[in-house]
Each structure stands twice: as C-alpha cells, then as structure tokens.
Structure 1
Amino acid sequence: MALLNPDLASALPSVLPPALPPIPVTVVTGFLGAGKTTLLRGLVQRRQSRRLALLINEFGEVAIDGELLRAEGDAQGQVQIQDFAHGLIAYGDDEHFVPAMLALAARRAQIDHVLIETSGLALPSAVMEVLQSPELAPHFVLDATLAVVDTPLLLEDAFASGNAAADATAQLFRQQLECADVVVLNKIDGMEEAPLLQAEHTVRALAPNVRFLELAYDARLDIRLALGLRLHQAGATVHHHYTPVAMPGERATVAADQWRFNGHAHSGLGAHSHGLSTHKHFHEQDPGWQSFTLRSEQRQDGDTLRRAVAAAALDQPILRTKGFIVTGSERAQLLQAVRARVVVAEAQAGKFGTQCSELVFIGYHPSRARVVQLLSALTATEWK
C-alpha cells in the first residue's frame, strides 16, 4: 500500500483537539468502472460552503482518480484530497488508513464531512469496521454507505456467476450491495422505464435490505442524498428536505423498511446495522485480482489505442483500464475503459504534464505479457 502524500499522516500531533462532534463519513463503494469518481466530482462541484476531505483508494500503483478530482480546482481550499494507491485501505496489514484519519481528526475545525471512495475491488465493510475501532470511533461517525452501480452492465448480467473471474466478480458485487444503505443506479441516460425497473428488481433480489435506491442521470446525485443522512447514529431524528427520485411505474413503491425524506416530517431512521460481524474482521484481498501498469514513450493515436485496449479486454479477463495517453494534441488524453467499452477524451487543461502514456489494467489473473504483446502489435508502438 503506497500513501502518495505521507505529509498528512506525519503531521499528526501527539494530542488531539478538545472533543468536538464526530466528523460524519460517507463511504462510496461500487465495482470497477461504476462511475464513483465521476459521481464524487459532481458532489464536489455542488458542495456549496461545505469543507470536504476526500480519501481516494485505488488498487493500481498509479493514482488516476485523485488527479481527476484535483482537476476540478479548489480556489477556496474547501476540499482536501488524499490518495491511497497500490492496495486496499483498511485491509489486512494496511498501516496508512488510521494515521490519515487521525490527521483529519486533528483538523476537525476545518472539516465538515469526509468522503471515502473505496477501490472497486474492496468491501466497504473493511472501512466501516475500522471506523468503529477505539482509535477512530471518538472522532468519526458513519453517515451512510453508497454503492454505485454500472446499470448497463447489470442489465447485461455482467455480474452473474460463471467461470472463476465471473464468480469472483459476482461475489464481490453482491457483497458491496449488501453493505450499502443507498444503491445508486448510474449510467442510465436514455434508458426507458422497463430496464430501470428490471435493474431495481435485480438489485433488490441480490440485496433485499438496501434501504434506498436512487437514479443518477448524467452521473449526478443530489448532494442531500450523499451528505448528512445520519443513518448510523442511534436515536437520530433528522429533518430531511429532499424526496428521493422515484423509480418509474406503479411498482415504484417504498419498501417496508424505508421512509421517504420530506421537509415536514422526521425520518425516524435510527441506527442501521450491516451485520459486520458476518465479515472477516481481518479483511483479505483475493489474490486473483491483479493490477499492472504499462507505459509507452511514443505518441499514440487515440482511436487505434482505443481499439487495442478493447481487443485486450476481449482476449484477457481485464475489467478496468484507465490512464493518460500522449497523442499529437497539446494536452494529454484520458482513456477510461470498463471491459471492452473504451472512451478516449481530452484531459482537463493544465493538470497532466505527462511525457509518456501510462495505463493501469485491472483484472482477474490477466496476463501482462499478452497485453503488452497486443498493445504493441495493434498500435505499432512499444509498450512495456
């Protein structure tokens, strides 16, 4: 596990400030490529006066998502971003998550809310358990856990069991849903009523105890659904001023264990238990999930590389690819892929001065040598 900004943890004072209300924490989970970072970027843009701390965990050795969030800019200094790369925070022998959180606690007066984006290969219960540890419990309170879903992939049965890679994917996806308070159906622009209802049915079949199911058109979620829910505070009686987006159709009813938010009634939501005791206290990473980074110092053609990455995903069990590429353009290009769906677009101005193309691949027992061979052959450039 590499902590890309160790200054945060090293700045931890020996004595924490006097007792203040615990900092609320929202955990954002979701499988690889679900759109977690894009959703967070929208929340950051609409934060209003909230002072946020974002902890971004990436399985690969290169932190891409943190750079994307930094590209939004923060002239007022209201957003602090911390990267954790090359591993899963709060798992196994991770030694960085608790010190980083304690460093945030030491600056309690400067932070209104913490958002933690877990790796797409992580169970949020790992973070949730550590938040309840003696070190962190006095300083933080879990506000809610959001699970972001790639709805088109869900409808394609991409999370169904099958071979070893499919079984590992299905198990992890289901467990992420089971840990969530709110499931967010993402990538739904242009969808008709029938597939949305089918997606809702599938989610509720996999995780019947999910409390709310929301729609994110254009990858945007009302900030009042992500911050300030207080779903895990015992005896909480909270005013909410937002009604969740209803699922279309006559079947769009609120489940028996749910309440709609409204501006005139108490939510009545008390403490919510996810049954964390059913998970291993010592979270262990499935060694089948592997990541590697490939680089090329030669200029790339965006369309050619896009086809090459898609071909590699069809040839190998690669579920996620992301990174920056150097083309003839003055700015670096951002490549994002979920399985064989690949998109290349211009990166934010002035943020990525990379001199070489760099792509992170994540999959279940993928062959690095085979991907190197495919990319080099199909782009007529050297990748290594």
Structure 2
Amino acid sequence: MNAANPSPSVDKLIPVTVLTGFLGAGKTTLLRRILTEYHGQRIAVIENEFGEENIDNDVLVQDSEEQIVQLSNGCVCCTVRGDLVRALNDLALQHEAGTLHFDRVIIETTGMANPGPVCQTFFMDDDVADTYKLDAVITVVDAKHGMSTLDRQEEAQSQVGFADRILISKKDLVNEADYEALRSRLMHINPRASIAPVHFGETDLNTLLDVSGFNIDDILTIDPEFLSEQDHDHDHEHDHGHHHHDHEDDEDGHECGPNCSHDHHHAHHDDAIGSFLFRSDRPFDPERLEDFLSGIVQVYGTDLLRYKGILYIKGIKRRMVFQGVHMLMGAEPGKPWQASEKPNTRMVFIGRKLPRDIFTQGLEQCLA
C-alpha cells in the first residue's frame, strides 16, 4: 500500500498513534496518564519493548494470556516480544471476533528505536493497512538531557525527525534560555511538528489523538519561525547559544554555580538528522518532477524520514498534496487554488544528511 494512497474506507480504519522518545524522556509517564484518564475511548496499547512489562502494576487488572494484559480502564496492553505485524493482526482478529473491544491503538516504542520501521509497517503489510491507519508520531524529549542526547544518539534525532507532535518534558529542571535553545534545535530538525512542554504527562489528550499527521489531505504545517530563519540563511551549524558540557555529574543533577570551573562554550550542533524547505511560485512540469522524485527516493530513500508538501503543478487548477516515508511516496489532488491566492509550492524534507543542493537544484530544473 502506498503511503499517500489510503484505503477508500479510511474512516472505518482503526487509528494508531506511535509514542516514541529516548530512554527516560517520559513516554511511560505520558502513556500511564492516557490509560488512567477517562476520555471515553477504549485503547489497545502495544509496548514494542523487550523484557518485562513496564506499565505500573497498579494499573493492571488481570493477565488474559502471555502477551495481552487487561488494564483497569478497559484498555488492552500487548507487550511485543516478537513481530509487530503479528501483534497488530492478532489484535485485529480479536477485535473482529468481538473478544476485544478498542477504538484506537497506541504503540510505545523502545527508547532506542528509530520509529521508521514501525511507521512503514502500516504501508507495507496489506492486512495491517486494511485494518489500521497511522494517525501520528508523538515524540517526548527530555529538557534536562535533550541536548546531550541529541548530540550522542542519532536514534533520538530520528525520533524527532519522524514526529508530528513533540512534547518537551522536565522543563522545570532547566532555565528559559536552555529551553528555548532546545526548542530551536528541535524546530530545525523538524519544522513541521508542533512543539509544547508537558509536565508529568499532563497534556490535552485532544492534541495527541486524531492528529491526522499521515493523512494526505492534511495541510502542510511548518513553523513560521522556521520560515523566517530560513530566509536569513540559517543552517544546522548555527549557534544555539546553549552552554553545553558533557560532565556526568551535571547530568546527575548537580548545578553549576557562578564560580563553576567547567569549560562552558557555545555549541555548534551538526545534527545528522535535519530538514530543509523548498519553495517556488513557478509551477512544476509534472513529468520532470515525477522522474526526479522517483530517482531521489531510489538513491536517498533510506535516509529520507518524512517529506511532505503542497505542489503547484502546471495545467492543474488545484494544489497537489504530496508526502512520503522513506521510499514510499505519493500525491493526490487537494483543494482548488482560490482566486485570491497565488499558487505556490512548499515542500519540506526531513532526513539524514540530505544533500540540500542536489535536491534544490533538481527541483528547480523540474519547474516549467
């Protein structure tokens, strides 16, 4: 199934939210709140973890079998020690048979996981695609250790790059300047995700459910601050103004005082995962654009995390809505261009060390 061509009966599909974030960021705290708060929805939870169940015991009611756990609010938890596709299909069979009742699924990934393969599952397996729709990736980032984690762990950058919503936990443990530095860095890795602080998992669940982040009809959302900074030729090696150091004792909570002897310096973060925006007021030649994009995904598909855009195509009086995940991409007609608006193209690419100049020059050569 193509990432951009959902089933015609998409409204009948079971929505799935992928909850990700690095070790200790607060995923389980957020998940526990979702499971214990009354929200009128029955949720099946898949924990894509190896090892012991990490949902608190006071939430559990009974074991129905090795992998399925009944939670106190009627939710179902499935701990995956094997294949995610098998777990989803098993849940679907029980749902269809009426032995399990749930309205949506939340998948909590292991902290070291790149969410890409999890997302691709919903477009690569026909049985899964016929039952579920991927709604959004929610990524939790630790304000206290987020900068150093992003410096050291490319998986953490991938988690940010795939996100539709980014929640920053533990904001109370850092000052405002450090929080804004982290937020700025996250925004440059992924300008299409909304960013908000979250305190002990307390957030408006309506902002996390039914996001439609993978819905091809969803409009392209890009942080306006990212656009303004791009206009000033900002790149990923810019100075975040963050006083960064790697001392273990600081990560354990020791504060640096005014006489601290640590070697603070302004850090330049050359992130492996980054993003860039392509814009044009000129229309694309459709055949040239299709040939170029097909070649790009063949060469760089494994490094392309998320890409999405509104396309202005020659000879078409409506916008084309385009998106992809890794090597899966597609486009379909969106809303007609209004008389009051000037047709234009906006495309955002998020991936691992993507050659921005090659993409930009290639896209410019596809313009009519």
Please, what TM-score do these two structures have when normalized by structure 1?
Answer: 0.50
- Cα 1:20–1:273 shift into 2, 3 Å: closer
Aligned equivalent of 1:172: 155
Work out the percentage of aligned pairs sharing the same amino acid.
23
In structure 1, the residue corresponding to 2:177 is in which secondary structure? helix
Alpha carbons 2:89, 2:128 under 8 Å: kept:
no
Match of 2:205 in 1: 223
Matches of 1:276 and 1:105, distance apart in 2: 30
Secondary structure of 2:105's partner?
A: strand
Q: What's 1:126 paired with?
A: 117
Q: Determine the structure 2 residue equivalent to 1:334.
A: none
Deviations 1:26-59 (A, max 9, x none): 0001111211111111122224211111111213
The C-alpha deviation readout for 1:298-356, integer Å capped at 9, x for no partner, is xxxxxxxxxxxxxxxxxxxxxxxxxxxxxxxxxxxxxxxxxxxxxxxxxxxxxxxxxxx
Q: Contact 1:24–1:142 (CA<8 Å) still a contact in 2?
A: yes
* Equivalent pair of 2:30/2:200 in contact (CA under 8 Å): no
Letter of the aligned partner of 1:81 in structure 2? C
Q: For residues 100 and 271 of structure 1, do their structure 2 counterparts lie closer, same or farther at Cα, with a shift above 3 Å needed?
A: farther
C-alpha separation in 1, matches of 2:126 and 2:10: 15
Q: Is the 8 A contact 1:233 1:271 kept in 2?
A: no
Partners of 1:275 and 1:51 lie apart in 2 by 28
1:185 is displaced (CA, Å) by 0.5
Q: Cα–Cα, structure 1 residues 274 and 124, in superposed 2: closer, same or farther, change >3 Å?
A: farther
SS at match of 1:158: helix
Q: Deviation at 1:275? A: 2.7
> Deviation string for 1:214-251 (max 9, x for gaps)?
110233221011111122223258xxxxxxxxxxxxxx
How far the C-alpha of 1:139 sits from its partner, in A, is: 1.0
Identify the match of residue 326 of structure 2 among 265, 276, 285.
276
Runs of 5+ consecutive residues of structure 2 not aligned to the other structure: 1-8, 63-69, 228-276, 278-309, 311-319, 329-368
Quote how far apart the aligned CAs of 1:272 are.
Answer: 7.6
Of stretches 193-202 and 96-105 in structure 1, the one that deviates more from structure 2 is: 96-105
Residue 56 to residue 203, structure 1, CA distance change in 2 (3 Å)? same
Residues 66 and 81, structure 1, Cα contact 8 Å, conserved in 2 = no
Q: Quick check: 1:26–1:145 contact (8 Å CA) kept in 2? A: yes
Deviations, residues 163-221 of structure 1 (Å, cap 9, x unaligned): xxxxxxx211111111111111112225432122011012123x234421111023322
Aligned counterparts of 1:107 and 1:47: Cα–Cα separation in 2: 25
Aligned 8 A contact 1:187 1:219 in 2: no
- Pairwise CA distance, 1:96: 3.4
Q: Any idea what the Cα deviations from partners look like across 1:81-102, whole Å, max 9, x if unmatched? A: 11124x6x54xxxx63343343
Q: CA RMSD in A?
A: 3.5
Is residue 189 of structure 1 aligned with residue 165 of structure 2? no
AA aligned opposite 1:64: N
Q: 1:104 to 1:276 in 2, by over 3 A?
A: farther
Identify, as 1 or 2, the structure richer in strand.
Answer: 2
Alignment coverage as a number of residue pairs: 219
Q: Which runs of 4+ in 1 moved over 6 A?
A: none
Query: Aligned pair in 2 of structure 1 residues 71, 105: CA closer, same or farther (>3 Å)?
Result: closer
Greater CA drift, 114-123 or 217-226:
217-226
1:46 and 1:272 mapped to 2: Cα distance?
36
- Aligned amino acid, residue 48 of structure 1: H
> Structure 1 residues 148, 76: closer, same or farther in 2, change over 3 A?
closer
State the TM-score, normalized to the length of structure 2: 0.52
